[in-house]
């Protein structure tokens, strides 16, 4: 079927037989063509005097849309702070939930098979299966480590003639059709410089190339449509790459750009300006929906407003700066000044006392070790700090950086500050292990008991060796240090602080550096200076093993709670094993 034949026949199916001028406008064909085509359609049995026939519907069948894949797995990190509280697709925009509006538009167009691919806060979407007939769910468990190519790989059994959608698009008018002639990517024509993806058209208005950023041209905006031939070819590329994983970290549009010559033609379908909206930040959403200027429905922003005594519209300039292992942090601005908001991670309340953290922050500020601290809610765990510009983290390969870090550690430990709680990593690891075994389904690591036994031997050797407890930070890995060119060395994030063995601070830095024992010994010598001896060397090497073991057990717990710990879990296991085995062997434990 030619495009003109499709356009006219589909127009008749949707609107019935109209006068020729009306049909010309609906089908985008010439008046002369309509007269000739109508006679041919009747001869083929596609239409009769009443409109389209069963034969005509059968002729359109290869172009019928089978499904829609709605990608809703990602966190949308650029949309902090709202995305920290709920998935972006569940935002209410102009009194409608984004993903609900899109599902309803798909269903209005006759697409009944709608697949939601979920990851981040997936349970928040589950209600949609009950609310909308034909909606089904696919889970992407690797949403935090792989990009949306993995989402499409997981949904491939549903992809034929399919719309590929994002859960957070807003369409002023319904862009979906029950029948589509050819694959396309939605676009708008812009005349100014942007950082969007630009599609370079060929003579038939198909994608001949793709580039990132540009000036005048057609930018990717909104949904795409894959016909069966495009779907088969694209999915073949994904399947061939799956074992290699070279596309794991990229968007499916990257795969399209890299494989245009291997794929069937994809049209550039241009929509009117202001018909498709994607919101990359809260500031963009505020420009579209006035309700978000002064009422974002966000607890986080209400916390900021209550602390500063300002209005919601005064809080701007949001930018994620740290999606950490325990928490997420972002920059915001009030009255031209930048600050940092720390949002606590789910499940951390079971292993972190926020009351203790707040007192630790107050102590650290009082002695100048962390001058950034401003306010913390000890019940909810959120925190506001000054933003420090022009900082870097220490380089583990730089001994000069190590000296700066150790000078602050000695200052902190030498103050002999004290609080009424303790951080005992060996005991805390035992508590977390108990939770894992009794509440989280056990521990899968077959070498866990041997590792634990070796670390325990190291720990027992340190008991009573003369090293006294003092107020410690207990989480001194490089990302918690801020070095400035002015010579400032600031230690932040005091969640695990308390009265502890100073080896907790020394050992944590060594642990995260992944140093061999020789490098660790140099670090320990610099820390101890004139007091260095074999007892202190063993002590701090042992605490490297103990802290590595603690963080390994902690990481097992966090993953059991749904977090993705990635390489960190493995690294901590490696360091606990390396240092405990070394000490057991060298000191005949």
Per-residue pLDDT of the chain (589 residues; tens, 9 = 90+): 999 999 999 999 999 999 989 999 999 999 989 989 999 999 999 999 999 999 999 999 999 999 999 999 998 888 888 988 899 999 999 999 999 999 999 999 999 999 999 999 999 999 999 999 999 999 999 998 899 999 999 999 999 999 999 999 999 999 999 999 999 999 999 998 988 999 999 999 999 999 988 889 999 999 999 999 999 999 999 999 998 989 999 999 999 999 999 999 999 999 999 899 998 888 889 889 888 877 788 899 999 999 999 999 999 999 988 655 567 899 999 999 999 999 987 666 666 889 999 999 999 999 999 999 999 999 989 999 999 999 999 999 999 999 999 999 999 999 989 999 998 999 999 999 999 999 999 999 999 999 999 999 999 999 999 999 999 999 999 999 999 999 999 999 999 899 999 999 999 999 999 999 999 999 999 999 999 999 999 999 999 999 999 999 999 998 998 888 889 999 999 999 999 999 999 999 9
Q: How far apart are CA 234 and CA 226, in angstroms?
A: 9
| Token pair in block for residue 477 | 């890995």
Q: Dihedral through CA 485, CA 486, CA 491, CA 493, nearest 10?
A: -70
Q: How far apart are CA 200 and CA 220, in angstroms?
A: 11
| Token pair in block for residue 60 | 């359109």
| Token pair in block for residue 358 | 């707040």
User: With contact defined as beta carbons under 8 Å apart, do 565 and 558 qualify?
Assistant: yes
Q: CATH for 3-63?
A: 1.10.10
The ranges of the chain annotated as CATH 3.90.550.10 are 67-278
User: With contact defined as beta carbons under 8 Å apart, do 551 and 579 qualify?
Assistant: no
Query: What number of helices (H) and strands (E) belong to the chain?
Result: 21, 25
Superfamily of domain 67-278: Spore Coat Polysaccharide Biosynthesis Protein SpsA; Chain A (3.90.550.10)
Q: How far apart are CA 256 and CA 164, in angstroms?
A: 13
The ranges of the chain annotated as CATH 3.30.200.20 are 298-387
Whats the size of the chain, residue-wise?
589
Q: How far apart are CA 286 and CA 275, in angstroms?
A: 17
Q: If you classify domain 394-586 with CATH, what class do you get?
A: alpha beta
Q: Indicate the DSSP class of residue 109.
A: T
3-state secondary structure of 70: strand
The ranges of the chain annotated as CATH 1.10.10 are 3-63
The ranges of the chain annotated as CATH 3.90.1200.10 are 394-586
Ramachandran region, residue 121 (left: φ > 0; alpha: ψ -120 to 50; beta: rest): left
Instruction: Work out the angle at residue 399's Cα, subtended by the Cα atoms of residues 396 and 404, and round it to the nearest 5 degrees.
Output: 95
Ramachandran region, residue 494 (left: φ > 0; alpha: ψ -120 to 50; beta: rest): alpha
Does CATH number 3.30.200.20 belong to domain 298-387? yes
Give all strands (DSSP E) within 492-574, no chain letters: 498-500
Antiparallel, parallel or unpaired: β 470-472 and 498-500 = antiparallel
User: With contact defined as beta carbons under 8 Å apart, do 175 and 106 qualify?
Assistant: no
Q: Residue 348 class from Cβ within 10 Å (0-12 exposed, 13-18 middle, 19+ buried)?
A: middle
**What Cα–Cα distance (Å) separates residue 164 from each residue in 36, 123, 161, 373?**
36, 22, 10, 45
């Amino acid at each position: 079927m030619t495009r003109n034949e499709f356009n006219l026949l589909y127009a008749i199916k949707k609107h019935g037989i109209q006068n020729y001028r009306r049909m010309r406008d609906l089908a985008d064909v010439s008046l002369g063509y309509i007269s000739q085509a109508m006679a041919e359609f009747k001869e083929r049995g596609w239409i009769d005097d009443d409109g389209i026939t069963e034969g005509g519907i059968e002729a359109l069948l290869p172009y019928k849309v089978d499904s829609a894949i709605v990608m809703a797995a990602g966190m949308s990190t650029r949309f902090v702070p709202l995305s920290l509280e709920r998935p972006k697709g569940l935002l209410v925009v102009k009194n409608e939930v984004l993903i609900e509006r899109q599902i309803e538009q798909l269903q209005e167009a006759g697409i009944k098979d709608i697949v939601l691919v979920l990851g981040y806060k997936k349970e928040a979407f589950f209600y949609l299966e009950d609310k909308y007939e034909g909606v089904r769910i696919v889970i992407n468990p690797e949403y935090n480590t792989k990009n949306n190519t993995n989402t499409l790989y997981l949904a491939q059994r549903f992809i034929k003639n399919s719309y590929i959608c994002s859960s957070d698009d807003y369409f002023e008018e319904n862009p979906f059709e029950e029948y589509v002639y050819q694959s396309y990517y939605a676009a708008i024509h812009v005349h100014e410089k942007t950082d969007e993806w630009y599609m370079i058209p060929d003579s038939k208005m198909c994608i001949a190339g793709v580039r990132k950023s540009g000036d005048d041209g057609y930018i990717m905006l909104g949904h795409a449509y894959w016909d069966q031939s495009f779907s088969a070819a694209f999915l073949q590329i994904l399947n061939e790459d799956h074992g290699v994983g070279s596309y794991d970290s990229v968007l499916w549009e990257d795969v399209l750009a890299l494989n245009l010559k291997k794929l069937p033609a994809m049209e550039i379908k241009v929509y009117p300006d202001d018909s498709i909206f994607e919101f990359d930040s809260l500031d963009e959403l505020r420009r579209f929906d006035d309700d978000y200027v002064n009422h974002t429905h966000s607890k986080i922003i209400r916390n900021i407003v209550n602390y500063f005594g300002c209005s919601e519209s005064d809080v701007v300039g949001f930018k994620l700066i740290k999606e950490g292992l325990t928490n997420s942090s972002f920059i915001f601005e009030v009255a031209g000044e930048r600050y940092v908001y720390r949002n606590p991670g789910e499940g951390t309340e079971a292993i972190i006392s926020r009351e203790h953290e707040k007192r630790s922050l107050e102590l650290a500020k009082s002695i100048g070790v962390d001058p950034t601290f401003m306010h913390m809610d000890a019940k909810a765990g959120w925190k506001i700090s000054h933003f420090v510009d022009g900082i870097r983290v220490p380089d583990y390969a730089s001994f000069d950086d190590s000296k700066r870090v150790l000078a602050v550690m000695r200052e902190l430990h030498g103050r002999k500050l004290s609080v009424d709680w303790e951080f005992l990593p060996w005991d805390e690891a035992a508590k977390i292990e108990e939770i894992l075994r009794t509440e989280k389904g056990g521990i899968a690591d077959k070498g866990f008991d041997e590792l634990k036994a070796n670390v325990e031997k190291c720990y027992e050797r340190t008991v009573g060796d003369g090293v006294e407890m003092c107020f410690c930070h207990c989480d001194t890995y490089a990302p918690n240090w801020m070095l400035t060119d002015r010579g400032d060395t600031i230690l932040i994030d005091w969640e695990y602080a308390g009265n502890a063995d100073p080896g907790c601070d020394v050992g944590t830095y060594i642990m995260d550096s992944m140093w061999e024992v020789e490098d660790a010994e140099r670090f320990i010598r610099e820390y101890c200076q004139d007091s260095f001896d074999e007892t202190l060397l063993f002590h701090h090497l042992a605490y490297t093993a103990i802290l590595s073991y603690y963080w390994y057990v902690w990481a097992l717990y966090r993953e059991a709670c749904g977090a993705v710990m990635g390489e960190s879990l493995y690294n901590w296991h490696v360091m606990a094993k390396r240092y405990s085995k070394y000490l057991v062997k060298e000191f005949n434990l």
